[in-house]
Structures are given as C-alpha cells and as structure tokens.
Amino acid sequence: MADDSTTTITATFETREAADLAVEHLVQQHGISRPDIFIQSASNRNSAGAAPSGGDASHGGGARQDAPLEGEIVVSADIASSQVAAVRRSLGDAGALRVSQR
C-alpha cells in the first residue's frame, strides 16, 4: 500500500526573487500545482523581502530605496510525504534560510 499522506513544507527567504525561484522549482521540478503554493510576508507588514533583489537591486542609481523591505518572505506548500527530501533540497538550492515541515 502506497503512502499518500501529505506534509506542509515551509521555507523562509531573504528576497522575493529567491522565493519566486523556489516556486518555479516546486512547479517545474516537483509537479506541485501553483494553487497549492502560498507566498506571504513572514511578518504582518507588506514586504518584498529583507534585502534588495531583482529590479530593486539593479536600478541604475544603485539599489532602490522605495521597496518595502520589511522582512523575510515565506513559501509554503502541501506536498506528498514521499517528496519531502527532494523538495527540501530544492528549497535550499533556491536560497532558503530555513525549511520546516509539519
């Protein structure tokens, strides 16, 4: 009998760019449906991450100062328990600061 139980995996990222990369890994490498992936600020404040990235970092005059850099970004998804090890590796490769599961 196959184990079809699910686990919620959560990863914290310093930048929105890293969180977006993690989502792409989850979708493309692990076949997780986008509606099953959630992205939110780690705090109650609107945030684009804790550090400039992407367009905020490559602005012509240096890093933009108007981005809401109010904290880390959290990505979570419900995955098959059999995917936990591979998904943890992918999230780490994408730059996760912390990965947990429940």
- For 26-54, what is each residue's pLDDT tens digit? 999 999 999 999 999 887 766 555 565 55
Question: Residue 11: enclosing H or E segment and its boundaries?
Answer: strand 6-13
Q: What is the predicted pLDDT for the residue at 60?
A: 63
Instruction: Provide the pLDDT for residue 25.
Output: 96
pLDDT of residue 69: 58
54 or 13, higher pLDDT: 13
pLDDT at 75 over 70: yes
Checking if the pLDDT of 95 tops 50, the result is: yes
Question: Which residues have a Cβ under 8 Å from the Cβ of 35 and sit 6 or more positions away?
Answer: none
Q: What DSSP letter does each residue of 47-92 carry, written as one string?
A: -SBSS--GGGTS-TTSS-S-S---S-EEEEEEEEGGGHHHHHHHHH
Q: Is the pTM of this model over 0.85?
A: no
